[in-house]
Chains A and B, each alone.
Chain A
Amino acid sequence: MEISLPPLLSHAIVYANVISFMTISATLTLTKTKVPNFAVATFGTIGIYISFTCIKIFGIGLYPSLIFCFLGGGVIGVIIYLLIIKPLRRRGATGEEMMIATLGLDIFLIALLNIYADFLTRSFKIMARDFTLEVYDFKAGGIDGVFIVSTLVFFLIFVSLHLIFSKTNIGIALKAVGENPSLAECEGIDTEMLYVITWFLAGALPAIGGCFFPVYWIANPTTSYFVIVTVFSGCVLGGFATIYDAALGGYIVALAQTVLVSYLSDIVGLWILPYSFLVPLLTMIVTIFLFPQGIYGLPWSRLIEKWHLMIKRGGNMEG
C-alpha cells in the first residue's frame, strides 16, 4: 500500500530532526561542561563528510554509515575536549573565552573540511562540494527513507538519553557535575570521565544529524553557516536548560522555518526563500524580549492551571 506524504511535511520533519540533534548537543555542552559551543553546526558538517566518505570511498550505504557518524563524531568531540576544552578549563577560562575558543575551533574545522573536500576531489576525482545524497535514499510505501530513519533514530536517541539522564547513575552524576562540579568531585564522582562522555555525545549527535542533511539539501563544507541561526534560535527558545526543552525548541523553530516560509512563498513568491532565516532570528529576538528563560522558564504549572480554568469555564457556558 502506498501512502503519499506531502514533501513539505517530510522535509520539515527531517530538518527538525537534524536541528534538534544540534540543539541537544549545544545544550548538553553548556549545561554539563559550561562551554557555549559555537562550533556545534560544524560538528554536523563533519557528520556530512563522514557519511559522504563512507558512501563514495568505502561503498558503505547511507544508513549503515550512521554508526560511523556516531562513532567518528563522538571521537572528534572527545579529541576536541582533550586538546582544547580541558586545557582551557584547567586554567579557569571564562565563559566568554570559551565562546571565542569555540569560534576559533569553528573557523579551524571549516578550513579543515575545505582542505579535505579538495583532497577528495583531487585524489578520488569525486565532486566533494555542493552534493546531495538523495540517490542513496530508499522509499518505503511511498515515504522517503530519510523521513522514517531520521525520525526513528531521533526518537530512539532521545528516549535513550532520557533513560540515561533519569534512570542511571551516570545521568545523576552528570546532573551533579552540571550544577556544581567541585562538590560532585568531593562526592567521589569522576568528573573527567563525565566530561569525556558529554563531549562524545556533543560530537556524535550533530554528526548523526549531518548524515541525514544531504539527502534533501545541498551540502558543502560551509553548510553550518546556513543552519547555525536556526540552531541558536532553537537553543534560546529551549532556554539552554534540559535536553527536552532543547529538542522541543529545535523542533518548533525548524518546523516554523520550513512550513511558514513555504506557505509564504506560495502567497508572495519565491523571492522570500533566501530570507527563511528571518523566522529563527525573529523567534530568538521575541524569546529574548518576552521570555528570556525560554520554554524552560515558562511558568508551566500556572499556564496549565489557567488552561484548566478556561476549559471549565467553556464547559459551564455550554451547560
Chain B
Amino acid sequence: MVFPGIDFFLVLIIYIMIFLIITLSYNLAYGYTGIPDFGRAMAAGAGGFLCGYLPGRLMAYLMGIKEDYLGNVLIIVDKINVVLEKDPLMSIGLLVLTLILGAAAGGILGLIASLPLFRGIRLFYLGVTLLAIQISFNTIVYHWEPIIRGEFGVPIPDPFKWLGHYCPPNVAPSFMRLMGVIITSGIVLAITAYYCISVSRSPLGRLLKAIRDDERSVEALGRDVRKIYVKVMTVSYALTGMAGVLFAFYQRYVIGLNFDKVAWTFWPIAMVILGGLANNKGTVIGTIVFITLKRFIMFYKADLEFILPFSPVWLEGILLGTLLMAMLIYRPRGLFPETPEIPLSREEIEKLRKRT
C-alpha cells in the first residue's frame, strides 16, 4: 500500500479550509436561521465561474491584448502568467479584487435566490426553488460557451506563480504555490470564522435562533423576519462565493461541470449535520472528518477496487446518502449538539455574580 506524500496533505489542508468557509457560512443559514438552502453550489459557482470569466479578461485588457479571448485563451493566459510571475503586487491585487468580486457575485445571487421569501412562501418551497435554480445555473454555464467555454472550460491566471521565485533551496515551486493558496485560504477562513463566531455569540445570533425555532413569535415581537432571511442568505452566499474563487485559483482551470450539487451542496449539508447544527465547533469537526475521509477514499480508489464488490466511483454516493439518512434518524443534533452561547466570558459572569 502506498502512503500519501506531503503534497496530499497540503491539498487536504486546502480542501478543508475551502470547505470550512462553505460549511461555516451554511451553518449560519441552515443551522442558526433554519433556511433549507439547497443552492449552495450556485454560490460557490458564482465565485468560481467569475474567476474563470473575469481576471483573465481584465488582465488581457490591461496588457492591451486585442485577440479573441476565448479563442486564444491558452496562449493569452500563458502571457498573463508571465507578467504575474514578475509582478507580485499585481498578482496580489488581482487575487484580492477577484475575491471581493466573487463575494459580491455570491451575495447578489444570494439576494436573488432569497427574493421568493418576500412572497411569504413556505421554506419548503424555497428549498425546491433553490435546488431547481441551482441545477439550471449549472446547466447554463455548462452549455453557454461565451462564459467559460462550457464543457471545455478555461485556464485561470495564476496569482501565486510569483511565489516560485522565493523558493528555498531543495523545495519545489509547486510547494510554494500550495503554501500561497493555504495562506490565502487561511485568511479568508479566519475572516469567515470570526464573523460566524461573533454572530453566534451576539444578540443577532440569538435572534436568528429564535427565528429558526418560532418564526411567528419573532414576527409578533416586531421583527421583519423576511428581511433577516434575505440578509443572512446574502452574507452567507457572499462568503461561499469567496470559497469558489479560492477553489478556482487553486485548480487554475474551471469547467462547466465544476461546482456540482453533490459535492458543493449535499456534502456541506452532511458535514454540518454530522458536526452539529448551530454549533461552529461541530461544523469544523464534521468538515475535517468528511473531507479527510473523502480525500483518502479518492487516494486509495485503485486499492478499493479489489475490496469492494462495486466500482469505488459510486462509494461516495452510497456513503453520503447513508450518512445523511442515518444521522437524521439516529443523531439529528449531530456529534456536537447545539449548546447555549454565553455572550460573556466566564470571568465577567463571575464578576457579575459577585457584585449581586
From known contacts A114-B314, A281-B133, infer whether A275 and B321 are also in contact, taking CB-CB under 8 Å: no
Set of chain B residues within 8 Å of A288, measured between Cβ atoms: 116, 119, 121, 125, 129
Contact assessment for B132 and A107 in the assembled complex, using a CB-CB cutoff below 8 Å: no
Contact assessment for A108 and B318 in the assembled complex, using a CB-CB cutoff below 8 Å: yes
Q: Mark A76-106, 1 if CB is under 8 A from B, else 0.
A: 0000000010011001010111011101111
> B93 within 8 Å of A by Cβ?
no
Contact assessment for A107 and B125 in the assembled complex, using a CB-CB cutoff below 8 Å: no
> B253 within 8 Å of A by Cβ?
no
One of B166-174, B216-224, B242-250, B325-333 contacting the partner? B325-333
Contact assessment for A278 and B332 in the assembled complex, using a CB-CB cutoff below 8 Å: no
The residue from A101, A115, A119 contacting B324, defined by CB atoms under 8 A apart: A101
Q: Tell me how many residue pairs across A and B have CB atoms closer than 8 Å.
A: 132
Contact assessment for A36 and B124 in the assembled complex, using a CB-CB cutoff below 8 Å: yes
CA distance A232 to B323 in the complex (A): 25
Q: Mark B306-318, 1 if CB is under 8 A from A, else 0.
A: 0000110111111
Contact assessment for A93 and B266 in the assembled complex, using a CB-CB cutoff below 8 Å: no
CA distance A106 to B38 in the complex (A): 14
The residue from A111, A274, A280, A292 contacting B321, defined by CB atoms under 8 A apart: A111
Q: Distance (Å) between the CB of B139 and the closest chain A CB? A: 6
B-facing residues in A92-146 (Cβ within 8 Å): 93, 95-97, 99-101, 103-112, 114-115, 118-119
> B143 within 8 Å of A by Cβ?
yes
Set of chain A residues within 8 Å of B73, measured between Cβ atoms: none
Contact assessment for B321 and A118 in the assembled complex, using a CB-CB cutoff below 8 Å: no
Q: Which residues of A contact B (CB under 8 A)?
A: 30, 36, 38, 84, 87-88, 91, 93, 95-97, 99-101, 103-112, 114-115, 118-119, 225, 228-229, 232-233, 235-236, 274-275, 277-278, 280-281, 284-285, 288-289, 292
Closest 7 CB pairs of A and B: A108-B321, A111-B317, A104-B324, A107-B321, A274-B143, A115-B310, A111-B314
Can you list 30 A-B pairs, Cβ within 8 angstroms, ordered by A?
Answer: A84-B329, A87-B329, A95-B123, A96-B123, A97-B328, A99-B124, A100-B324, A100-B328, A103-B269, A104-B270, A104-B323, A107-B320, A108-B318, A108-B321, A112-B314, A114-B311, A114-B313, A118-B311, A228-B132, A229-B132, A229-B136, A233-B132, A236-B125, A274-B139, A274-B143, A277-B136, A280-B132, A281-B136, A284-B129, A285-B116
